[in-house]
Structure 1
Amino acid sequence: MSGFLFVVPPLVGHINPTVGVAAELAARGHRVAWAGLPELVEPLVGEPATLFPCDSPALDDPALLPSSLRGPAAMKGLWERFLEPLALEMAPGVCAAMREFQPDVVIADQQAVAGALVAERLGVPWATSATTPAGLAPMLPKVEAWLTGVIHGLRQRIGDPDSTADPRRSDRLVLTFSIEALAGPAGSFGDQVRFVGPSIAPRPSVCDFPWEWLDPGRATVLITIGTAHAEAGVRFLAECADAARARSGRLQAVVVDRSGTLRDSGDDLLVRPFVPQLALLERCAAVVCHAGHNTVCEALWHGLPLVVAPIRHDQPTIAAQVVEAGAGLRVRFGRATADRLGTALDSVLREPDYRAAAERVGRSFRAAGGAAATAAHLEDLAAHPATGRLR
């Protein structure tokens, strides 16, 4: 029996893939624990769970991830305002977790680099959890050089000052929750990269949902922009709602709106701050989203075509993968209107090729192995450690 510690950032889409992997490892008789923000991790992983608390920057700070930033500026802002402070705040909790739990392997999310940095300092083998393959792509040289300096500074404070490893990318094992058919040949990313497909597993329900509202005689469309873009998405969600209302005779929409600005409208539009997404997708015909990797993978797993409107970071890359696979259409987030959204939605619902492509990707996801394949790779790493126990 081995011990596996998942170090996760306070981001739902980065925690969800670990849930199925942890369940698989536990079913195989291993010890499993998490290090992260308790109020976000606990509802997602369920009970019983071993969780070691870590601090985080204030997630409700509007200056944390300003929606006006795009491209390299957005990446620089992400690290300066969120990921670098997050690493420093998480490090004490991660260190305490490792000393108490004594893991054989640490699984550090790409955006929770404290996990990798503390692991290398304490001599614990670690793997990278890459929830999106976009995180493996090379950056512009100037951005990469700047980020190398940021990571060097973090290593001096919370890692092994003599190491040169990249905490975003383990040199032993990188677990990528996608497939080569979407992201490209695994070999182009490095010999340690394993494409395992999405880890889709039942999750604890965190909210009530009026299932009786769904009309089996009409197509149900899920509209969501994830958990990190509530304020930026107010206008976009309003346009989506108008597009849905204009088609109320043949479809109904469930809109995830965490800003609280939209209102229900009879039997054609249901607005909720949270939904049981996996269970709901089983009853949907299509998804409109921001091209967040977690939502895209869960939609394609269920064979659902998409309308994607990427906002920033890795989302344009994920949106391009959806379009190239033939599983959906892309609209511009900042210029999306009810007419444009409605036209795209009509296409993915009416033209069978989109659904067929989504189902084809879904079959490839299942063939990749998901949680079971991931657990097997982690067991192999635990059985062949490159370093000793904690020092």
Structure 2
Amino acid sequence: MARVLVVMIPAEGHINPSLGLIKELVENGDEVVYCCTEKYRTKIEALGAQFKAYSFNEATLLNNPGMKPFELKHPYQFLYMILEKVIQRFIPDVLNLIEHETYDYIIFDSIIGWGGQILGEKLGIPTVCSTSTFVFVEPLGSDNQLKDDAEEVKELYNSIVEISQQIASQFDVAVPSLAELSGHSGQLKIVYTSRYFQPMGEKLDDSFVFTGPSIIPRKDAPGFANESLHALYKQAVYISMGTILNKDLDFYKLCFTAFRDLPVQFILSSGKDTDIEPIADLVPDNFIIRPYVPQLEVLQCVDAFLTHAGMNSTSEALYYDVPLIMLPLTSDQPRVAGRVQELGAGVIVDKNNLTPDVLRNAVLEVLGNASYREQAGVIGKTLRDAGGYKQAASAIKNFIGNQPLSATPISSFE
């Protein structure tokens, strides 16, 4: 059986989609070594994989302003962030972690980009990219707000050229072209959605394998009495803004004002590190608030989902045919929300025009119009039919079976 190196960035929306695949690989007899931050050790080891922690901790990484979610004005901003904040930091650390070790292939997070190709080249092994959001079929940021001749863009371009040359020299690899940097790395790309849901999915070649979301029970999820969601009201709505954007108490107060008089049960996942005490007296009777809920279980019992439209949460909702009210804030969220709305499975609420009436009307629209659930069901069927983590593992097995395995042990990295 194969020995597999997995390298992921420390974010729930990137790690959770990989868990089913890792579980399947381990059960099939592969030896999996998973690299991430210490926070995820227990979750990964529970799957039977070995775990190696980066030398830096998650707080150091996520407190870096350069790693915060931001709204792209030009694709060069994203490329520079990946080169400086991810590749320059992750790759030396991984190489040190696996010194003198050999592997048969590597699975790396799509955010690592060219860095995954560097690791594959240094190890002399095939590369598989784990892609937890939409693939960019057209050039990244083709709708950019900055013109290519703007001074800021010229400076970014020069910085990208300079830093890519430095990295190539540091690791003794060829300098990539701009097209290679902005393209999708990995000889095989596992994409955790369906080709139907993927915008322009028909234009992508067979190196992109669409497996749908990787849905497995989460052993770290707390229990929750789902029957309470319909004890008092016929309809229920789940509210969650993800694990990074969930500390906005003003937004929660807006929800209280918007929904307090509706005959609907609301369940709000506020986040483990969010202090709700300052607004505890404002919580309406039709709200249940928990720091963390078993999202997969709750989604199977609600009629709509108010979300930031992160790809992971959106996919899980659609997998269970749940329509969405979406408040996209940053990163890939506007693109994900736009696709959901385009396919008729939800509505977008403008973050710049957010009032109680706007939010209330959006929820009532989705709850009152059966077409949203019907279209969510159309997408959901394609996600379920894609095969999930078993299809991902099968695709990797077939791919690796056609590759010459010539693993090279990593010597000391300076």
CA–CA distance in 1 between the matches of 2:204 and 2:159?
Answer: 19
- Report the more deviating stretch, 86-95 or 320-329: 86-95
Aligned length: 387
By how many angstroms is 1:119 displaced?
Answer: 2.1
CA–CA distance in 1 between the matches of 2:174 and 2:62?
Answer: 36
The 3-state SS of whatever aligns with 1:288 is strand
Alignment of 1:303-342 (within 5 A): 303-342=321-360
CA–CA distance in 1 between the matches of 2:202 and 2:99?
Answer: 35
Contact 2:62 2:68 in 1 (8 A): no
- Report the more deviating stretch, 273-282 or 159-168: 159-168
The 3-state SS of whatever aligns with 2:209 is strand
Q: Give 2:184's aligned residue.
A: 169
By how many angstroms is 1:337 displaced?
Answer: 1.7
Q: Give 2:18's aligned residue.
A: 18
Q: Give 2:107's aligned residue.
A: 107
CA–CA distance in 2 between the matches of 1:147 and 1:303?
Answer: 45
Q: Which of 276, 288, 294 is the aligned partner of 2:312?
A: 294
Of structures 1 and 2, the larger Rg is shown by: 2
CA–CA distance in 2 between the matches of 1:343 and 1:260?
Answer: 28
Q: Which of 227, 238, 250 is the aligned partner of 2:264?
A: 250
The structure-2 alpha-carbon separation of the partners of 1:246 and 1:383, relative to structure 1 and needing over 3 Å to count, comes to same
Check if 1:61 corresponds to 2:79: no
RMSD, aligned CA: 3.0
Check if 1:226 corresponds to 2:230: no
By how many angstroms is 1:369 displaced?
Answer: 1.1
Q: Give 1:3's aligned residue.
A: 3
The structure-2 alpha-carbon separation of the partners of 1:87 and 1:66, relative to structure 1 and needing over 3 Å to count, comes to closer
Check if 1:149 corresponds to 2:151: no
Q: If the length of structure 2 is used for normalisation, what is the TM-score?
A: 0.82
- Report the more deviating stretch, 369-378 or 266-275: 266-275
By how many angstroms is 1:188 displaced?
Answer: 1.9
The structure-2 alpha-carbon separation of the partners of 1:244 and 1:390, relative to structure 1 and needing over 3 Å to count, comes to farther
The structure-2 alpha-carbon separation of the partners of 1:375 and 1:145, relative to structure 1 and needing over 3 Å to count, comes to farther
Q: Give 2:412's aligned residue.
A: none
Contact 1:45 1:204 in 2 (8 A): no
The structure-2 alpha-carbon separation of the partners of 1:125 and 1:65, relative to structure 1 and needing over 3 Å to count, comes to closer
The structure-2 alpha-carbon separation of the partners of 1:103 and 1:371, relative to structure 1 and needing over 3 Å to count, comes to same
CA–CA distance in 2 between the matches of 1:294 and 1:158?
Answer: 35
The structure-2 alpha-carbon separation of the partners of 1:204 and 1:119, relative to structure 1 and needing over 3 Å to count, comes to same
| Equivalent residue letter for 1:205 | D
By how many angstroms is 1:86 displaced?
Answer: 3.3
CA–CA distance in 2 between the matches of 1:216 and 1:178?
Answer: 34
Q: Give 2:34's aligned residue.
A: 34
Check if 1:364 corresponds to 2:382: yes
Q: Give 1:241's aligned residue.
A: 256
Q: Give 2:207's aligned residue.
A: 192
5+ residue gaps, structure 1: none
By how many angstroms is 1:181 displaced?
Answer: 1.6
5+ residue gaps, structure 2: 143-147, 410-414
CA–CA distance in 1 between the matches of 2:376 and 2:339?
Answer: 12
| Equivalent residue letter for 1:239 | L
| Equivalent residue letter for 1:299 | A
| Equivalent residue letter for 2:187 | R
Contact 1:99 1:390 in 2 (8 A): no
CA–CA distance in 1 between the matches of 2:137 and 2:57?
Answer: 24
- Report the more deviating stretch, 160-169 or 49-58: 160-169
| Equivalent residue letter for 1:223 | I
Q: If the length of structure 1 is used for normalisation, what is the TM-score?
A: 0.87
Identity of aligned residues (%): 26
CA–CA distance in 2 between the matches of 1:60 and 1:236?
Answer: 22
Contact 1:103 1:124 in 2 (8 A): yes
By how many angstroms is 1:211 displaced?
Answer: 5.1
| Equivalent residue letter for 1:220 | A
Check if 1:84 corresponds to 2:95: no
The structure-2 alpha-carbon separation of the partners of 1:259 and 1:146, relative to structure 1 and needing over 3 Å to count, comes to farther
The structure-2 alpha-carbon separation of the partners of 1:78 and 1:115, relative to structure 1 and needing over 3 Å to count, comes to closer
Q: Give 1:125's aligned residue.
A: 126
The 3-state SS of whatever aligns with 2:13 is helix
By how many angstroms is 1:88 displaced?
Answer: 3.0
Deviations 1:255-285 (A, max 9, x none): 3344324537364222233222112212222
Q: Give 1:71's aligned residue.
A: 72
| Equivalent residue letter for 2:251 | F
Check if 1:284 corresponds to 2:302: yes
CA–CA distance in 1 between the matches of 2:223 and 2:32?
Answer: 28
